[in-house]
A and B are shown apart, each in its own frame.
Chain A
Amino acid sequence: MNTTTAPQLTLTRLFNAPRALVFRAFTDPEQFASWWGPFGNLLPRDEVEFDVRPGGYLRWTELFPGQPDTWTKGRVDLTEVVDGELLDGVMQITGHLPHGFKPFETRMRLEFHDETDGRTRLEVSQWLPNHLVAPTTNGWGEAFSKLDATLPS
């Protein structure tokens, strides 16, 4: 997987909670199971298995209780972990995914920063599942934004 390029997707999100609390929400299996769910609204607690350290992993399953044909297994192989600050690894999503998604693999990086007033700034970087992006910088983003101005709305 080519990850020497800039990430294709970046998000910043502010949370009204201290950094340690936000970090723990990601790394405590009990808490993670209660809010995570891009692909399902139920994470069976006994299928959330975490080993949070470099070389460790996060594993979980996402389900929709009324839809047994739709299920998602998530796994992150952690390469870098700094307690309270950083999670970096490769995420694999497999299963019969909802919303037209197909199984994919992507590198992702979560950086947790202190913000004023006891808040936390989370920066998410994701390298989207394609292996063909050449080592240039954000050119594709520029291409989009320039074209955005010319496309019919």
Chain B
Amino acid sequence: MLNVAPACTAHEFDLVFSALADGTRRDIVERLSTGEATVTELAAPFTISLPAISRHLKVLETAGLITRSQHGRWRSARLSPASLAGAAAWLERYERLWTESFDRLDEHLARLTSENSAVQDRDQRQQR
């Protein structure tokens, strides 16, 4: 179960989801989940150009999913999991809207079905 981070804003939520909507960016996020990496290391599995990778990293950074840094000649990135957890927390909140009402629907249906069977019992007794 993910830690429930403070709920992010609708805008942040949009940025995270649009950042993750791209397969290359999801792969980058997954690679970074095992630790910090340089841009060159991140680009290695892909056939697209380094500038294209940098554009993807920019999208991820704007969404707050990664932070980038420079050590001498090496540019690198690391994951900041708080944003992802925030988006997951959003999903949990929406899911809870349904499940809480469904608990009450359970009770409502139980009342209906027990009323139905009480009526049926009474009718059967009257028919004897």
Chain A residues close to B by CB (< 8 Å): 8-9, 11, 13, 15-17, 21-22, 25, 31, 34-39, 99-102, 122, 124, 126, 128-134, 136, 139-140, 142-144, 146-148, 150-153
Decide yes or no whether B97 CB sits under 8 A from chain A. Answer: yes
Classify chain B: how many residues form its interface, as a range: 35 or more
Q: Shortest distance in angstroms between B91's beta carbon and chain A's nearest beta carbon?
A: 6
Min C-beta distance of B20 to chain A, whole Å:
5
Could you tell me the distance between the alpha carbons of A4 and B1 in the complex, rounded to whole angstroms?
29
B21:A136 contact, CB within 8 angstroms: yes
Can you list 14 A-B contacts with CB-CB less than 8 angstroms, sorted by A residue number? A17-B109, A25-B109, A36-B104, A36-B105, A37-B101, A130-B10, A130-B17, A136-B21, A136-B23, A139-B21, A142-B26, A144-B84, A147-B30, A150-B81
Q: Mark B72-103, 1 if CB is under 8 A from A, else 0.
A: 00000000010011001011011101111110
Q: Which of B21, B95, B107 interacts with A132 by CB under 8 Å?
A: B21
Contact of A144 with B18 in the complex, beta carbons under 8 Å: no
B47 contacts chain A at the CB level, 8 A cutoff: no
Residue B2, interface by CB 8 Å: yes
